[in-house]
Amino acid sequence: MPSTVLDSDIFKDMFGTAEMRVVFSDDNLLGRYVEAEVALAVAQGRVGVVPREAADAIATLAPSVVLDRAALKQETENVGYPILGLVRQLSARVGDAGRYVHWGATTQDIMDTATVLQVRAALAIIERDVAAVSAVLMRLAEKYRDTPMAGRTHLQQALPITFGYKCAVWLSALDRHAERLRELKPRVLVAQLGGAVGTLASLGDKGLEVRREYARELGLADPPITWHVARDALVETVNLLGLITGSLGKIGFDVMLMMATEIGEAFEPFASHRGASSTMPQKRNPISSEILVANAKAVRQHAGLMLDAVIQDFERATGPWHVEWIALPDSFILAAGSLAQAKFMLEGLVVDESRMRRNLDLTRGLIVAEAVMMGLAPHLGRQQAHDVVYEACREALQESRALIDVLMLNPAIAQALPAERLRALCDPANYLGTASAMVDNVVRKRPNP
């Protein structure tokens, strides 16, 4: 019976994706355990640690063994790990070769390697979906490169930006995450084989040779040393997922705020009754954005949990390892859900350029007070220009007048700048700085797809 949003038939495709759930399903996990056991036998047969015919029999028969799930569950609950029960079943069903299943390995070797195989599949999905969301953001950045809107600091209108600039800021973060994903893979996609305390003593002088062939059989890197209690690569993986979902959460938070009735500059895609209220027919709630924010918070907690589990005792941990079983699958599923929600939302994002312009004019010129100050500074000096414009802003606010009207009546300002120049300085569209050039920089520096 489902018990969380990640396995609930009602919620699971809001917070996660079916594709990622498959990667971390019991079926796939058991398949990866068997894959690791087969690779171990093949490697040992290849270097002469076990008879070649036994290795061949294990490789042929083990993948088709139908496991008794009920028995495996019972033994796992009794032992604390699933590998002993798995090995018992495999050994019983591959004939005489069964005596060589799991030869010289320890439970954590198989479980860690299976986790890495899952991570490899999961990272491929994350990498693909980060690229897909980035492609949508690039299109938005280019389309709205020169569309002026209010830039806001501390929730107040500050200076004009362009919507394309905002999208390019979002995009730049995802591009860095894509780079981090590429850099991460050589560190995390590494086989695990060390035996009881990591020294490979059970394999005699063939230990390093077996591990090398084991890694090669699985398409993983061969580590320089056992990492039973050095968990930094898996911790880095979950923390990277925290960064990715955090950046997506920032996008969701921005869109959520822009959807507010009083702002109304951008909206999630329209679908009949999407985001509807059970009692208020007019509502159009930011559903995808809310999930982006929620998932980011959840993965953040898992990232902290993984960091806590870095501290492990001696050569095999007594509990921190188990934390990964909780945090890692959940983090990947939530990250996949966030990427799916972000792609859906951004592909259908409704942008109201006219509302952006109206909002720019809400302060009747105050948003470009800095532009006026900088325009006056060469004539009056920076500090005097600041003080003059400050007083003009206060007067405009108190009397509900346009800033340009107040400025035009100030003799010092009128003497310093002609009216036409003042009007130009008071147009927000003329004070966008290098926003458009920065959009071009982000787009130009992106790697080719």
Q: Which residues are catalytic?
A: 154, 277
Helices (H), 144-265: 163-188, 207-218, 232-258
Rounded to whole angstroms, the Cα distance separating 332 from 245 reads 10
Q: In the chain, what is the greatest distance between 2 CA atoms, to the nearest angstrom?
A: 103
Residue 157 bridge partners (DSSP): 152
| Structural contact between residues 36 and 26, judged by C-beta atoms closer than 8 angstroms | no
CA angle 253, 237, 301 (to 5 degrees): 50
Half-sphere exposure of 313 (CA within 13 A, CB side): 4
Residue with structure tokens 């070649």?
52
Residue with structure tokens 């996008």?
251
Calculated CA dihedral for residues 64, 65, 66, 70, nearest 10 degrees: -150
Q: How far apart are the first and last CA of the chain?
A: 42
Q: Please give the structure tokens belonging to residue 116.
A: 């890495």
Phi-psi category of 392—alpha, beta or left, where left has phi over 0 and alpha has psi -120 to 50?
Answer: alpha
- 162: closest CA among 445, 423, 431, 441? 431
Rounded to whole angstroms, the Cα distance separating 157 from 301 reads 33
Q: How far is CA 264 from the centre of its chain?
A: 27
Half-sphere exposure of 165 (CA within 13 A, CB side): 18
